[in-house]
Structure 1
């Protein structure tokens, strides 16, 4: 009993620490790395400048009014005509002069961002789950050619179409460095697109409160050179590699016998569950549990053993495995590159 407890505790080491720095740069809409994000940032800065200027002007007028009200020899109050002109100028003309250019600019930027993509643009289907992301790569006929979870790869310099769906509640798909927010509404498919201008790993997240683990519903978007992306996608299209050692074969059997296959798919095996993420190439992913923790042996063991400890409220039940079963299962999963 002592040995089993020690082994399970060892595998849980590190599983309590959220993944805080999985990306190569800041998660910020003001640090654009995509064409759409650059347009949004270009509009944001003058909007901030005008908002600050207007705020300072209002505060200045308020200070003058307070000063005049407490001054003994204050000048006579404004006439009715002067008051009317002041209201028209300050309450109607100036606000319209400040907001109309920004409204027109916002409309123009929105049309540019939503411009139709070429027919041969790559299409990625993303489905919001509770609380993770299911990702499908589609061919020109709309058929799924590869499936992953919580990690999206796109080629640099090429526009990518995203079909956004939800099978539960409203989510919002957002990669601040690359694109604005787009809602994911049950029963509806919303479409957005993005183009990464430079390679990098960017953090995306749900931007619409969706329940207990909304704060930990994140994903990584990996923008890479087209050649590297093509190699990655070719690997993702393949079924899982067959076990190469006896230990991996035992881990494969544990996966099937422990009930994991009821929720998860590993293509090329009898496991075809559709409730949880596809694990065909789980070892190739950088994170686990919606970018909550790094994809390392200890975190993976902790996640399998006690997922509620890592991400309370998620839909995955705990697994009652012996230390030997857990060890062989981890060895098998880590072979699924």
Structure 2
């Protein structure tokens, strides 16, 4: 018995050690995630209390001599412990949890951010009220204390967005727009993932979530509206502008991620690789080595010197 309890405790400790502050529902930074954690803790405490009560009753029943409990007493015990008390507890829990199920209210001035899942990256478009939209990729920034409505869809197959510390999961379905309303409560850099199998690189489809103070977020969004002028001819020579756009560098495509402020991102390939010159150059020439099944074409014919030069140019887009 003791060994079994010790084994269970060790297993729980190992599971908890796998959590971290960047991607864990146990360290919420959003209103909905905090409410979910409170509800989970209440349910856990209730479950433990029920198990302990059942063990006490079982021990009492085993040690009590036969004939001490009449049929009438037994039926009354079953009625109270099996019917009345569980009904009261479940009804109280339902009434207590109903407010937590109500979504956050959306007002006309609520910041709306469109997030579209692609194989295997994220298209993020900020749509502030009364201003032009701003497109980015593989990074989601939200202001602390402000309500944000995420408009979720998918461009190819079903994806699912989950930021454990911010809110619950929400599917992203082609041809349909789902709405997820969130509000961050503290600043920091966190991590989100795709939780619906969407292809070979499903497990390599992550993104950073940056919760910022409102003034800092407004300044950042204003900076994102400015074009990033690039005079490097390699981008057009190798046909990169057929799929990618850099505002201020001429006409570009919209098939792949917008690279206007690419160098300001902390990672590339949707949260898979650190933002280094070698990683950028390697991903340009052989993206399939990092992400199997990726739709970006490989450029093995591109000279390594050109790839490094192009990588340095892209890193300078901030």
Q: TM-score, normalised by structure 1?
A: 0.78
Question: 1 CA distance for matches of 2:76 and 2:250?
Answer: 78
Give the equivalent residue in structure 1 for 2:149. Answer: 161
- Larger displacement relative to structure 2 (52-61 or 78-87): 78-87
SS in 2 for 1:313: coil
Distance, in Å, in 2 between the alignment partners of 1:318 and 1:274 is 18
User: Which residue is 1:307 aligned to?
Assistant: 287
Give the match for residue 38 of structure 2.
42
Distance apart, 1:207 and its partner CA: 2.8
The change in CA–CA distance for 1:116 and 1:94 in structure 2 (over 3 A counts) is same
**Cα 1:180–1:258 shift into 2, 3 Å:** same
Cα RMSD over matched residues? 2.7
Question: Which range moves more in the overlay, 80-89 or 303-312?
Answer: 80-89
> Partners of 1:79 and 1:313 in 2: how far apart?
70
Q: Corresponding residue for 1:212?
A: 200
Aligned to 2:216: 228
In the aligned structure 2, how far is the partner of 1:100 from the partner of 1:184?
33
Q: Deviations over 1:197-217 (max 9, x none)?
A: 221111112233333323222
Total equivalences in the alignment:
298
Cα offsets for 1:10-32 (capped at 9, x unmatched): xxxxxxxxxxxxxx934222222
CA drift at 1:99: 2.6
| 1:54 and 2:79 correspond | no
**Equivalences for 1:92-241 in 2 at 5 Å?**
92-111=83-102, 114-140=103-129, 145-241=133-229
Q: CA–CA distance in 1 between the matches of 2:242 and 2:179?
A: 31
Q: 2 CA distance for matches of 1:106 and 1:183? A: 23
Instruction: Report the Cα distance in structure 1 between the residues aligned to 2:84 and 2:225, rounded to whole angstroms.
Output: 59
1:260 corresponds, among 240, 248, 256, to 240
Gaps of 5+ in 1: 1-23, 244-248
Alignment correspondent of 2:312: 331
Verify the 8 A CA contact 2:278 2:308 in the aligned structure 1.
no
Which residue is equivalent to 2:257?
277
Task: Give the superposition deviation at 1:196.
Answer: 1.8
Residue equivalent to 1:27:
23
Partner of 2:4: none
Structure scoring higher RCO (CA < 8 A, sep ≥ 6) equals 1
Aligned partners of 1:106, 1:324: CA distance in 2, in Å? Answer: 60
Q: Is the 8 A contact 2:199 2:293 kept in 1?
A: no
Q: Specify the SS of the correspondent of 2:259.
A: coil
Q: CA deviation at 1:195?
A: 1.9
